[in-house]
Amino acid sequence: MPFETKASIASFGGKLLKLSHPSSSTTTPMAVNIYLPPAALTTPPTKVPVLFYLSGLTCSPENCSEKGFFQHNASRRGLAVVYPDTSPRGLNLPGEKDAWDFGEAASFYIDATQEPFKGKYNMETYITSELPQALSGDPELAQYLDLDNKAITGHSMGGHGALSLYLKHPGLYKSVSAFAPIANPTRCPWGEKAFGGYLGPDREAWKAHDSTELLAKWKGKDVKMLVDVGTGDNFYKQGQLLPENLEAAAKEAGVEGFELRYQDDYDHSYYFMASFSDDHVDHAATHLGLL
């Protein structure tokens, strides 16, 4: 299905495209931003590796495009960045807009099994399957994007999304990183609310979507996983993020390639993630064969 270009903005020698396309996973139009680095915009075009960035609660594709500072290093390393939206929009489902941490802009990147979200909040399918296929099937965009060579990252709810999709789909992404991820959602208030609403009351069923649970059972032994958490992050202090549980799961499973860094004094905001976005782009660039 076609992508409609709403804007094309010059950025760090490349272009930030603001796009919209119809999605069968969500039954809605979906906004998505894509940064094409100068390395892709050659004549003829060059296919470059792709980093998917999943945003946090309340966000749209705009937040990170405007203030995540990913374009700076993506331009230098020669990778494209895809910024999808955080949920379907405009469905007007009951309960969808009652709170900022559930429903619209709060999909948690899972496929809902519960009404009224079932059949529409299919964000895992959208991110892992429909969106990459739509991009590689688009004659214009496919010239620039090597969708067989992709990595994933994200912030907060999007950190949960990145970690869990990497672990649920072995081999789909060459690496993963996360800023302040909701690392053990089955054990924190945000995750309990979201998983209860989208997946129903069976807490056992939630575990298949929880990065800590998935890492504890990881078969491959080797992950390419970088996680940053700020020690001044109020959501960390409130027990919403639980990175210690993720680290314990990595140790228990004897997983290699797991790196968790605590960044002194940093909070939960984009000031934090922008401060370390160069590192996360380098992490992806290394595993995508660019460094």
Ligand X SMILES: N[C@@H](CCC(=O)N[C@@H](CS)C(=O)NCC(=O)O)C(=O)O
Q: Is 61 among the residues that bind ligand X (CB under 6 A)?
A: no
Angle between helix 270-287 and 70-77 (nearest 10): 20
**Least CB distance to ligand X at residue 212 (A):** 18
Q: Which is nearer to ligand X, 164 or 224 (CB)?
A: 164
From 26-34, 151-159, 203-211, 212-220, span contacting ligand X (CB under 6 A)? 151-159
Q: Is 60 among the residues that bind ligand X (CB under 6 A)?
A: no
From 35-43, 53-61, 77-85, 104-112, span contacting ligand X (CB under 6 A)? 53-61
Pull the structure tokens for residue 180: 């302040």
Render 77-91 in DSSP notation, one character per residue.
HT-EEEEE-SS--S-
37 in Cβ contact with 74 (< 8 Å): yes
Binds ligand X (CB under 6 A): choice among 36, 141, 157, 227:
157
The closest residue (CB) to ligand X is 56
Binds ligand X (CB under 6 A): choice among 63, 73, 177, 211:
63
Q: Is 160 among the residues that bind ligand X (CB under 6 A)?
A: no
Per-residue burial over 68-106, b = 16 or more CB atoms within 10 Å of its CB, e = otherwise: bbbbebbbbbbbbbbbbbbbbbebeeeebeeeeebbbbb
Q: Is 286 among the residues that bind ligand X (CB under 6 A)?
A: no
Q: Is 179 among the residues that bind ligand X (CB under 6 A)?
A: no
Q: Is 54 among the residues that bind ligand X (CB under 6 A)?
A: no
Amino acid code (one letter) for 159: G
Q: Which is nearer to ligand X, 156 or 184 (CB)?
A: 156
Number of residues forming the site for ligand X (CB under 6 A)? 12
Q: Which residue has the tokens 């990175």?
A: 243
152 in Cβ contact with 162 (< 8 Å): yes
Task: Based on the residue annotation, tell me whether 202 is a catalytic residue of this protein.
Answer: no
Q: Which is nearer to ligand X, 59 or 123 (CB)?
A: 59
Task: Based on the residue annotation, tell me whether 156 is a catalytic residue of this protein.
Answer: yes
From 55-63, 72-80, 135-143, 250-258, span contacting ligand X (CB under 6 A)? 55-63
CA dist 235 and 257 (Å) reads 26
> Which residue in the list 85, 210, 228, 233 is annotated as catalytic?
233
Task: Based on the residue annotation, tell me whether 268 is a catalytic residue of this protein.
Answer: yes
Q: Is 216 among the residues that bind ligand X (CB under 6 A)?
A: no
* Secondary structure (3-state) at 93: coil
Per-residue interface string for the shown chain with ligand X, residues 261-280, x marking contact by CB under 6 A: -------xxx----------
Pull the structure tokens for residue 210: 């929880």
Of 138, 126, 129, 137, nearest to 26 (Cα)?
Answer: 126
Q: Is 56 among the residues that bind ligand X (CB under 6 A)?
A: yes
Please report, as residue ranges, which positions from 86 to 115 form the binding site for ligand X (by CB under 6 A): 100
CA dist 270 and 197 (Å) reads 28
CA dist 82 and 84 (Å) reads 6
> Which residue in the list 155, 268, 283, 287 is annotated as catalytic?
268
Render 18-41 in DSSP notation, one character per residue.
EEEEE-TTTSSEEEEEEEEPTTTS
Amino acid code (one letter) for 145: L
Q: Is 25 among the residues that bind ligand X (CB under 6 A)?
A: no
* Secondary structure (3-state) at 223: strand
**Positions marked active-site:** 156, 233, 268
Q: Which residues bind ligand X (CB under 6 A)?
A: 56-59, 63, 100, 155-157, 268-270
